[in-house]
Amino acid sequence: MNVKIICVGKIKEPYLRKLIERCVKELNRSCRLEIIELKDEKTPDGASEKEEERIREIEGKRILNRIPEGSIVIPLCIDGKQMTSDELRHKWEKWNRQRDAEVVFVIGGSLGLCSAVQRRGTFKLSFSAMTFPHQLMRLILLEQLVYAAGMKEE
C-alpha cells in the first residue's frame, strides 16, 4: 500500500521532527509512506474572511495538484467523522487488501482546508472537535497510523 500525507507547512520544532521521523521509520516497514510538505501562505494580521478564503484556495490548489487520480483521499477536518483507533485500524486493513491502494491524508495549514479539497475527499476524518496546531496534527496522525498498521499496541 502507498500512503501519502500531504500537509501545508514545515515542521520547525526539532523535538516534533524527531518524533515524526520515528513514526515514519516504523510505518515504512509496512507500507510505502511519503510526506509531502507544501508551502504555507502568510496570513496578514487582521485578515478578513475573504482574504483567509483566498489563502485557503491558494493552498488548496497546491494540495489538489499533488493528489494522484484514483486515490483514497482523507482530508482531516474538524467536522469530519470521528473514529476510534480500532476503527481506523479496520479501515487500514481494508485499504491494505486493495490491490495498489493509494491512500492520501491531507492536513491543511493554520486556516484549514478549502471546500474543494474537502469535496475531493473519500471521507473527512476528525480527531476531535478541538482545533490542534497543524504541526502537531501530523504527529498525532502518524501515531494513529503506526497503531493502525499493527506496529504498536495501545
**Could you tell me which residues are annotated as the binding site for S-adenosyl-L-methionine?**
76, 108, 127-132
**How far apart, in whole angstroms, are the C-alpha atoms of residue 103 and residue 154?**
23
Residue 91 burial by Cβ neighbours in a 10 Å radius (0-12, 13-18, 19+): middle
Dihedral class, residue 146 (left if φ above 0, else alpha if ψ from -120 to 50, else beta): alpha
Question: How is the chain split among helix, strand and coil, in percent rounded to 5?
Answer: 40, 25, 35
- C-alpha cell at position 76: 482531516
**Binding annotation:** 76, 108, 127-132
